[in-house]
Amino acid sequence: MGKEVSIPIILIGIILFFILRGGGFLTSLKSQDSPFGIHPAYVIYDQQYAHSQKTPPPASVHTYDDALNIGIKWNRMFYFLWSRIQKTDEDVELGKFDWQESDAFFGSIPPGLNMFVNIDGLESRTQRGKNSGKPKTFTFLTPQLEEKYVEFLHKAVERYGRNGVKYWQLGNEQDLSTDDTAGYAHLMEISYKTIKSACPDCKLAMGGLVITDDFNVFLVPVLQQSGGQYTDIVDFHIFGAAGGSNPIESRIKDVANRLKNTLLVNGYGNTEIWITETGTYSGQPKSHPIMQGNFPYQTEKQQAGQLIKSYVSALSAGVKKVFQAWGLMEGFVDEDMFFDHTGLIYDGLGSDDLGFGIKKLSYYTYKKMVEILEGSDWNNIQTIQELDGVYIYKFTKQSKPILVVWNNNPSSEQIVVTDTDSAQVKTTEAIPRYESGGDVVSYDTAFQTEIKPVIDGELILTLEDIPVFIERA
């Protein structure tokens, strides 16, 4: 009799253990399901610290407090460099690894914030090609260097995978820098096999794609040479100004739908699609070699509205994760260019900057979006309308409908909504009712909300230029 009772008692004990751990196993699974990310999610609070694109900031100058405050669950690291773990040829030859910097960085990640780690730093150890003006290849200088790369990657994934780092990405925007599709496909294969060997439940993503008008340029050859294997996630990047005749949200949906079909016909039907870089700006960036163009002035309100539209459109198209970039706080190359204006918090540098640490309207909009939509059934988002400049999407959270609606027309539009299930609803404007986030005194009172009646199953709503959430009252 004792043995018959002991097994369920042990099982109950295990379940209670995970429940009583608080933010442990169950919380981790829940946070991994979330689509809400930032690239990167830290805020550098030392204004004198020089921003760096390729190295993690020291733990002494950055914090994740704001990321946790607005509900971010994913942080994309830019980059995890082999050349900083094994800095010299001698280090590689002797198998000498310096984990100090990465240990400190990963050790600073708070519970519930998932890491998406970009592996790079291969340039000095791969051949330089000369094709089509794209010099980068993925062929190692010697077979021994390839073996050393595999050794480095296995140790890294083993070291950090057991501490919850489960998602890895191979390079970034490689379709801009190379036409060596065979080399990249081979690198994906050896990296995939190495990662799965070190951590069977870890995932590998291809580097983010920028060439999205013709997938035959890079993506399709890589997929075909990989034979339907060696990637769990395909990522694409998309930016631009808000609004216009072909708005970002429409382009997101077009790319996502074409990408799904491309993956399906090439044997990757179960591969997830992520967007790890998207966003628009506030102010007026300068043209720059990294991001060229004539960028019209945009208000904080326009940036915040586009954030909602991009996330909702992507999720409705089946994209699993979306990362606002570049970053939670401004500061990319500090040259007043596009990516120096896309953050949700001012860094005190460049034009149209209201001061170091001041939060934009988009900061509060992101928090409200997560507050209302987090926990939705991400596999059951319905597109109700994408017509005549009016967009309506239906989310389901705990069996209750939540609608997100907006109007892209230059004038207000009166619409009739029938996808509610109650006699009255609460509407919440998705952008605080201020000109700037610096004017927000209290998050709790920053958003315009109303209780509206639903008469004979119909809600009559006048849409201005601010996206609106509609929930059961």
Query: What tokens were used for 146?
Result: 């390839």
CA dihedral 96, 165, 224, 219 (to 10 degrees): -100
d(C-alpha 20, C-alpha 363), whole Å? 32
Is the distance from CB of 163 to CB of 199 less than 8 angstroms?
Answer: no
* Alpha-carbon separation of residue 317 from 87, 178, 255, 339 (angstroms): 42, 29, 9, 25
Give buried/exposed letters for 317-356 (b at 16+ CB in 10 A, else e).
bbbbbbbbbbbbbbbbeeebbbbbbbbbbbbeebebbbee
Q: Give residue 28's pLDDT.
A: 57
pTM confidence score = 0.91
Q: Give residue 469's pLDDT.
A: 98
Burial class (CB in 10 A: 0-12, 13-18, 19+), 19: exposed
CATH homologous superfamily of 383-472 equals: Golgi alpha-mannosidase II (2.60.40.1180)
d(C-alpha 265, C-alpha 370), whole Å? 34
Whether omega before 58 lies within 30 degrees of 0, making that bond cis, reads: no
Instruction: Provide the H-helix boundaries in 21-135.
Output: 25-33, 65-69, 82-85, 89-94, 100-107
d(C-alpha 316, C-alpha 249), whole Å? 11
Name the residue ranges covered by the structural domains of the chain: 1-33, 34-376, 383-472
Q: Give residue 20's pLDDT.
A: 37
Residue 39 makes CB contacts below 8 A (sequence gap 6+) with: 75, 76, 78, 276, 277, 323, 324, 325, 326, 327
d(C-alpha 412, C-alpha 437), whole Å? 24
**3 state DSSP class of 260:** helix
Nearest to 31 by CA among 64, 68, 73: 73
Is the distance from CB of 238 to CB of 173 less than 8 angstroms?
Answer: no
* Alpha-carbon separation of residue 14 from 22, 25, 27 (angstroms): 14, 11, 15
Helix (H) or strand (E) holding 203: strand 203-206
Whether omega before 326 lies within 30 degrees of 0, making that bond cis, reads: yes
Amino acid at 388: D
Is the distance from CB of 392 to CB of 332 less than 8 angstroms?
Answer: no
Is the distance from CB of 278 to CB of 239 less than 8 angstroms?
Answer: yes
Fold of 34-376: TIM Barrel (3.20.20)
d(C-alpha 190, C-alpha 179), whole Å? 19
The C-alpha angle 428, 462, 468, rounded to 5 degrees, equals: 25
Q: Please report how many Cα atoms fall inside a 13 Å half-sphere around the Cα of residue 261, on the Cβ side.
A: 8
Mean pLDDT by 10 residues, the chain (473 residues): 44 40 48 95 80 65 94 90 92 95 91 93 69 67 93 96 92 87 93 97 96 95 91 97 94 98 95 98 96 96 98 98 95 93 95 96 98 97 96 96 97 92 95 98 97 94 96 94
Nearest to 362 by CA among 317, 301, 418, 296: 301
Residue 142 makes CB contacts below 8 A (sequence gap 6+) with: none
Query: What tokens were used for 244?
Result: 């216009």
d(C-alpha 411, C-alpha 388), whole Å? 12
Residue 304 makes CB contacts below 8 A (sequence gap 6+) with: 360, 361, 362, 364, 365, 430, 431
Q: Give residue 139's pLDDT.
A: 86
